[in-house]
Amino acid sequence: MEHAILRPQAERRYQEELAALRVWDQGNRKPENWLLSPKAVRLFILGSSQPVDCGGQAVTIRKKYLGNDALVERCIITLAGNRGLMLVGEPGTAKTMLSELLSAAISGCSTNTVQGTAGTTEDMIKYSWNYALLLANGPSRQALVPAPLYVGMEKGILTRFEEITRTPAEVQDSLISVLSDKVLNSPELGDDGLLFARPGFNVIGTANTRDKGVNEMSSALKRRFNFETVQPVGDVALEKQIILNEVGALAAAAGITQPLDEEAAELLATTYHELREGVSAEGHRLERPAAVMSTAEAVSVYYQTMMTAWYYGDGRMDAGCLVEHLVGAVAKESDEDMGKIEGYFSTAVRDKARREGGAWTRYYEARSRLK
């Protein structure tokens, strides 16, 4: 019996859609070794309002990335070219999700990934050795343990490099020759040491602008990437929809059957949107918290509140509990942030409560939990 997985990878989560799109894709031009054509990749990520005809079967392709359609198109075309794709932006703007979706659709594999950290070394990117075999037989392909870059080149699939700017500059720079010459040399293997990348290979990097910025990347490496800046969602209604979609998926995986509370999603979407923008819909000028006010954070606050209600309460979400989790999410960077949140409640939330009542009033009344 197969064990349940906490978070299945994108190609498994959407395997029906991907299979249907392969049928739909007949006759479309596609780059060598791509599983889907650029058009089908776009359709997979951006979805379609009508079910699409896949060999006589109508399949609904859901919209998975809500935001900038043109950005997705640019990403796809970049990956079909000979430059890598670098997604940069604030934390929580769905860069990783987009990178996963692209890899799943193009290569059918989103797990060929290097997770960049301060301790990432070159052999975690290129290859290392099985030392038992190495000592027994000397350097050979069998003794070589390929890392994601090697795998990508060998199979002609995408290699994802998460948080690339967290890694030391000299490690980042090991990508330069691979990206320009598309060849990786393992000198230990002698004449057999040259690995030429197969078509379909490319690199998707992600970098968040809160940590070490991309400014510290060498310009030689920058030149080998096309940069795409992923902006936070600019529309409250869309942000609310994202929260509901994401929480819905998390709740389903966790077996929580309580229906989603749309009002709470709206409160959170509005709060996060207004604090991020520094201005409320009514025109109050707000102080922006130093903490990351991303949609992903809003999803997390919502989900925590939902779980609290599910396990400790009657399942219904409580405004007080929502505010407590909001405090937990915001009070990370500095104490000043709490003052900013209190300021938001005593101006924008107060006025919304007066004007709209209902959930906003309950939200405002729960301000005593802001501690």
- Does position 49 interact with another protein (CB under 8 A)? The reply is yes
* H or E stretch covering 205: strand 202-208
- Does position 42 interact with another protein (CB under 8 A)? The reply is yes
Task: Indicate which single residue of 38, 67, 92, 148 sits in contact with another protein (rule: CB under 8 A).
Answer: 38
Q: Whole-number minimum distance, CB 116 to another protein, in Å?
A: 17
- Does position 77 interact with another protein (CB under 8 A)? The reply is yes
Give whichever of 111 and 226 is closer to another protein, judged by the CB atom.
226
Spatial CA neighbour of 175 closest among 83, 76, 79, 80: 83
Amino acid letter, 264: A
- Does position 241 interact with another protein (CB under 8 A)? The reply is no
Tokens 């948080």: give the residue.
163
Q: What are 57's strand-pairing partners?
A: 54
Give whichever of 95 and 362 is closer to another protein, judged by the CB atom.
95
Q: Whole-number minimum distance, CB 39 to another protein, in Å?
A: 6
Task: Indicate which single residue of 46, 292, 317, 319 sits in contact with another protein (rule: CB under 8 A).
Answer: 46
Distance between CA atoms of residues 230 and 16, nearest Å: 28
Q: Whole-number minimum distance, CB 164 to another protein, in Å?
A: 13
3 state SS of 211: coil
Q: Nearest 5°: phi and psi at 162? A: -80, 145
Contacts with another protein, 85-104, as mask; x by CB under 8 A: ---xx---------------
- Does position 215 interact with another protein (CB under 8 A)? The reply is yes
3 state SS of 242: helix
Question: Which range touches another protein (CB under 8 A), out of 187-195, 211-219, 248-256, 331-339?
Answer: 211-219
Site for another protein in 277-296 (CB under 8 A): none
Structure letter (DSSP) for residue 110: S
Structure tokens at 302: 């919502």
Question: Which range touches another protein (CB under 8 A), out of 16-24, 74-82, 187-195, 323-331?
Answer: 74-82
Cβ partners under 8 Å of residue 110, min gap 6 = 9, 10, 11, 99, 100, 101, 103, 104, 160
Q: Whole-number minimum distance, CB 89 to another protein, in Å?
A: 7
Give whichever of 39 and 350 is closer to another protein, judged by the CB atom.
39
Q: How far apart are the first and last CA of the chain?
A: 48
How many residues make contact with another protein (CB under 8 A)?
A: 30
Task: Indicate which single residue of 21, 45, 61, 76 sits in contact with another protein (rule: CB under 8 A).
Answer: 76
Distance of CA 202 to the CA centre of its chain: 18
Annotate 277-299 with DSSP letters as a single string: HTB-TT--B-PPPSS---HHHHH
- Contacts with another protein, residue ranges (CB under 8 A): 29, 38-39, 42, 46, 49, 69-70, 73-74, 76-78, 80-83, 88-89, 209, 213-215, 219, 222-223, 226-229
